[in-house]
Amino acid sequence: MLELSAYIGHAKQRKKPDISLSGWLEAFVGHYYVSGEGGSNRDFHWLAVYCDPAVDDLTEAVETTPANLTACVSSGYEWAFVLEARLQTFREHTADYGMVYIPLASFEQELLQCACPETLPEPFSRLLWIDDGFLDDETLPFDFHLFSLIDEGVPYLNPRHFSAARLMELTGGGGSWLVRHS
């Protein structure tokens, strides 16, 4: 398990890059497509970064398939969840953006935990964290209030185990394209 708060701390003041991530990766590096950037959305959200080294940049576009999904980057370029197999290359291609890279074997597997959710920065402050272990462990006291929230279908994360896809879905809508691809 990766401790989320070890990677996602309070955002540092950084020099803003001269070019958008999509502009850089798509036009200058090549073999990339960045979904979710541009437009008028100024709210925090996640960008899906797809890469296909085999695509002919002059005649073909990178397909937005699960096999090509390489990284999910916060809209302010603070953090990037990156598949471990593609981490080194992605880090080299985005070094000037000053991101914190969070390596994952999968976006869908519950590989993350967060011991101190209250220390996460603002984009994560609206999350509801519920340790739902009392549902399966008879030695823990049953929490009727939390159960009623769970039973109502209120979206939450269990701080002991959650996936990057679910985190992104609840913080900025980005995980929804991951869920559709699964």
Compute how many other C-beta atoms are within 10 angstroms of the C-beta atom of residue 67: 9
pLDDT digits (tens, 9 = 90+) for 114-168: 999 999 998 898 899 999 989 998 899 999 999 999 999 999 999 999 999 999 9
pLDDT digits (tens, 9 = 90+) for 76-106: 999 999 999 999 999 999 999 999 999 999 9
Residue spans per domain, the chain: 2-181
The residues facing 35 across adjacent strands are: 48
Can you give the pLDDT at residue 19? 93
Can you give the pLDDT at residue 14? 65
